[in-house]
Structure 1
Amino acid sequence: MTALVNIVVIIAVMVLVVQRQMRAQRLDTERRFWLLPLILGVLALRDPQLIDHDHTAVSAGLLAASLVAVLAMGSVWGWTVRLWRAADGSVWAKGTKATVAAWVGMIAIRLGLYGIGSAMHVHQAGSALMLGLAVMLLVRSLVVNWRARTTELPRQAAAIG
């Protein structure tokens, strides 16, 4: 895929995910939450420019640092989501102000890593960002689903947005 297509896909996924996270929605713990991250990950890993072959060690190090950062941010993001149980027993989720802060933090970290790479003249493909997004979405979904299954959730009369 071209860099422009990668950027468009990344922006579209981010807008969709953030928009959905800020609305109250019924959480389906049996849903295939791993499907979108899997698709994004496969698309990213198919890119031969994922690692800059002129600066292999530095490029791989930046990618590894990025993936560690998104692992942490995905976990933080999963813990910022408010969960509750409706009167019918269904689990509902909604992002909070802390969720927005987690997104801002993730973007700041990504910009910082991109700046470090640019200062070192390392070519950074959009597929690295897509791979990071895939990992972050997967970790966030794992955390939210784990919390929904193992935590005693407060009950509310109705799921209010």
Structure 2
Amino acid sequence: MWKKGSKKGATLLETILILTVLTFVILAVTSFSIVGIKAWSGIDKEAKLAQAGSLLSERLMRELRGINSIASAEADELIVQTKDGKLKYHLAGKELIKQGGGKNISLAKNLSSFQFSYYDEENALLGFPVEADDIAFIKITLTLEDEKESLSLTSGVNPRSIWVKKGLP
């Protein structure tokens, strides 16, 4: 027999209160997890964009360091002479193209801007039109985009053959 005032069970009100608190705890944990996953995804996309930009900059610097001479220098395109012939670097839409030897090679996609700047041996910025013989340093500024992320990079190179021809250290 049950004694009056026995506390052996939970009332309906207590059960509803426990379920409500448990629901709020689960919602909080789930929301926190979703925010964490979205943050990680954003960091991952940013890291991939930075890696792609870094690889592109390194490749351009390596290729431009080894040129023989500059044929034409504009803000949005550069034509150089290499041991294998002429190469043209330019932006076509959102794609960076390296054109030469009858081939068009896509170096990068999703570029929102790509620009060359040219400097003389005293690090003075050269205005356009640029005389190819005045160039001692080439600076490249590019902006990569991917969905909501964008990354701007600037790098520069001293082409070896130009420095040797000018007798610079």
Tell me which protein shows more strand as a share of its residues. 2
TM-score (norm 1): 0.33
Tell me which protein shows more helix as a share of its residues. 1
> Which structure would you say has the larger Rg?
2
